[in-house]
Amino acid sequence: MNPVIGLDVSKGESQVQAFLDKGKPYRKSFSVKHTLDGLDSLLVFLKEVTKASDGMKPSVILESTGSYHSPVVQFLDEQDYVYIMVNPLVSHRSRSANLRKVKTDPVDAYQLCELFYKEELEPHRKRGIQLLNLRNLTRQQEAISSVSSETKLQLQSLLDQVFPEYRGVFSNLYSKVSLKVLEAFPTSESVLEVSFTDLTNMISSLCSSRSDQWAKEKAEKLIEAARRNPFQQHMYDSHTFNLKILISIVLQYEEHLSKLAAEIDALANEIEAYKIIQSIPGIGEKIAATITSEIGEIDRFNHPKKLVAFAGTDPSVYSSGRFTATQNKITKRGSNRLRRALYMAVRCGIRDARKQKTTDDIIARNKKLREFYDKKRDEGKPFRVAVIACVNKLIHWIYALLKSKSTFQDIA
C-alpha cells in the first residue's frame, strides 16, 4: 500500500481525493472548508485512509497556490503528516498530457494523486521561522516601496501644475523637511505671504541638526522659487488639496518603510547567511536581506545549477530536428524577487566605486565580478547577456559561500 491524498486548493476550501495505491481511488472526492470544522473533518478522513491502508499514513500532495494553501499546510505540520508541494507548472504539464480537455476541482485532485505515482516527488522541506519572517518583511518592504514610488510620480505630476520651481529648493525633494515645507507652503502665494524670519524659523524647527545659516539659505531659495514660479495665482483649489493629500501619504509610507528597515535589520543580523552574503562587495543590507530570505536554507539545493534554476536565470533550450537555437532567453521560471535582487547586486558590483573620477582606471566595487563582466563584453556579448552571465557567476559564489559558511574575503 502507498496511499496518497490529493488536495486541489482554492480560496477558502480544498477538493479532496484519496488513492490507496496506484490505480485504486478511495471513495468519491469531496470538498472541505479551510475552517476549524472543515480541517477537523479532513483529519477524520486522513485517519480513515490510514486505517484502510493497514495503518500506513497517507502522503498529501497539493499545488503551491500563494497564500491559499497556508491554513492547510499549517494544519498538516501540526498533525505531523508528510506533504508534497508541487509547482503548478508540473501539474499543468501532467494535465496537458490528457487528450480530453477537462478542468474541474474533482478532476484536478484526482490528477494530483495520479501525478504522485508517475513522478519522483520529494516531501516538502519546512523552512525556518526566522527566514520566513524575514521573507515576509522584505516582501512587504518591496510592496510598499513600489506603491510609494507610484505615489511620488503622482506628486511630481501635480507639483508641475502648481509649484514647479520648488524642485530646486532642497537637494532631496522627498526628504522629510522638504515635504513638510511643501505641505505648509504648497503655492507661490502661501510662500510670499509669510515673512522671511517666520519662514526661516519654520525650516529651522523642522531640521534642528542643521545650522541657522542653512535654514536662511533654504528660506531665500524658497522665496526666489516662489517669485520665479509661472503659477503665481493658482486657479484650482483641488490641485492644492490633492497635493497635500499625496504629501501626507508619502510621509506615511516613508515612516512605514523606516520601521520595516529597522525590523529587517534586527532580524537579519541574527542570521549567519545574511552576514555571509553581505560580505560580497556590491551587496548592501537591503539586497542581502532579500537574497537571504528568498533562497532560504541552502540545504534545499544540492547543486548550484538548481539554485540558478530557482532564480530563473538558466537559459532555455530549443531544438527540433536539425535545428538548434543558439540565442535563447532565460527561463524566468524561478523566484522573480530573487532574480531582481541578484540583477541589482551585479549592477552595483560592476559599477565604479568612486563618486568622481580622477583617472581612467576602473575601480569597481567588486573587482572579480567586473573582470568577468569585461571578459564577456570583450567576447562580444551584449550588455544584458553579460550581466546575466555575472548573475549566474554570483549565484555560484553565493552557493559556495553558504555551503562552506565562509565570507567572500576568505576566498578572494
Q: What is the pLDDT of residue 101?
A: 61
Could you give the percent of the chain with pLDDT greater than 90? 56
Q: What is the pLDDT of residue 334?
A: 81
Over residues 44-53, mean pLDDT: 92
Whether pLDDT at 3 is above 70 = yes
Q: What is the pLDDT of residues 226-266, one digit of tens each?
A: 999 888 877 788 999 999 999 999 999 999 999 999 999 99
Q: How far is 207 from 180, CA to CA, in rounded Å?
A: 10
Whether pLDDT at 154 is above 90 = yes
- Which amino acid would we find at residue 312? G
Q: Estimate to the nearest angstrom the gap between the alpha carbon of 191 and the chain centroid.
A: 42
> Can you give the pTM of this predicted structure?
0.81
Q: How far is 352 from 344, CA to CA, in rounded Å?
A: 14
Q: What is the pLDDT of residue 90?
A: 74
Whether pLDDT at 327 is above 70 = no
Considering only 32-36, 332-336, 346-350, 403-407, which range has the smallest mean pLDDT? 332-336
Task: Quote the DSSP letter at residue 194.
Answer: S
Look at strands 323-324 and 319-320 and give their pairing.
Answer: antiparallel
Q: What is the pLDDT of residues 336-394, one digit of tens each?
A: 999 999 999 999 998 877 666 666 666 778 889 999 999 999 999 889 999 999 999 99
Q: What is the pLDDT of residue 43?
A: 93
Q: Cell for 115?
A: 501525478
Over residues 291-301, mean pLDDT: 91
Buried/exposed 226-240: b ≥16 CB within 10 Å, e otherwise = beebebeebeeeebb
Over residues 184-201, mean pLDDT: 90
Over residues 33-47, mean pLDDT: 93
**Phi and psi torsions of 109, nearest 5°:** -65, -40
Q: What is the pLDDT of residue 319?
A: 58
| Band of residue 325 on the pLDDT scale cut at 50, 70, 90 | low
Q: Cell for 141?
A: 518592504
Q: What is the pLDDT of residue 355?
A: 63
Whether pLDDT at 220 is above 80 = yes
For the chain, what is the mean pLDDT? 88
**Phi and psi torsions of 389, nearest 5°:** -60, -40
Whether pLDDT at 225 is above 80 = yes
Q: What is the pLDDT of residues 88-145, one digit of tens each?
A: 777 776 666 664 566 677 888 888 888 888 877 878 777 788 999 999 999 999 999 9
